[in-house]
Amino acid sequence: MTSAQQNGARKPSQLRSWAKSVVDIVAIVLVVLAAKTAIAEPFYVPSGSMEPTLLIGDELVANKFAYGYSTASLPSFIVLPNSGRLFGALPKRGDVVVFRWPGNRSQVWVKRVIGLPGDRIAVKDGRVIINGEPVGLKRDGTGEAENENGSETPAARYIETLPGGLQHVIFKLGGYDPLDNVPETLVPPGRLFVMGDNRDNSADSRVPVRAGGVGLLPVDDLVGRVDAILGSWDLGMKDKPIWTWPQGLRLSRFFTAVH
């Protein structure tokens, strides 16, 4: 066989090999996208609105099958108009949820569900009132709220007890805050009332979307339920020498449950 004939025989074989490689890569990408859409997806916490439950620099995993699926369930870099939900289920009061921000659905936020459809929610002197009953609130010492620049601010810790008995810790930074008093709001069907655990540093359902908050969150914007923290790194280390960065790993938070 001449050299030209050998080259001619080799080209179809190379093309088949190249095509198979492309198909394999596409298949892997589709499997990854399917898993991120249907099962779980990691998210990163950039702000302190959910402290002390979630810290700046935490990496979360959102359980996507907990509440069913909508276009919000697609990987976060895919932004499509809102849709209804398949296999839909409402969160439980107290769930920590990831959702598309109604003001810009390319942004993914995390808050805690306080009010469900049909609930009447108000806030008086910083205390949440659900259906006319103030939630349990007990002082639990003092903590440190981390700011986005790495500095810390003293914060009063409280244990909040929601109807049904679920307890979680919240921060109050002290003094009067405009969001300490919110008129009673009826949560309509298909909506949720969500709040951050860092009550004086959270734009949530107490703030309308037009003012940079969440307003009453559409259920269809839910991405999933936060079940665990995969890892955590102190962002305050980013301005320090690179060889000190491993010191910022919060190993005690790796693979811990979120409540």
Active site residues: 49, 111
Q: Residues with Cβ < 8 Å from 155, sequence gap 6 or more?
A: 51, 142, 143, 144, 145, 171, 172, 173, 174, 198
Name the token pair of 89.
């289920």
* Dihedral sign computed on CA atoms, order 109, 110, 113, 114: negative
130-133, long-range: CB < 8 A, 24+ apart: 130/162, 130/163, 131/163, 133/163
The residue assigned the tokens 């003094």 is 175
User: Within 10 Å of residue 77's Cβ, how many Cβ atoms?
Assistant: 7
Name the token pair of 155.
């914060």
Distance, in Å, from the CA atom of 64 to the CA atom of 225, rounded to the nearest integer, reads 7
Are 55 and 48 in contact by the 8 Å Cβ rule? The answer is yes
> Can you list the positions of beta strands (E) in the chain?
40-44, 58-63, 96-100, 108-115, 120-124, 127-130, 133-134, 136-146, 152-161, 167-172, 182-186, 191-195, 217-218, 222-232, 256-257
Q: Residues with Cβ < 8 Å from 76, sequence gap 6 or more?
A: 41, 43, 106, 108, 223
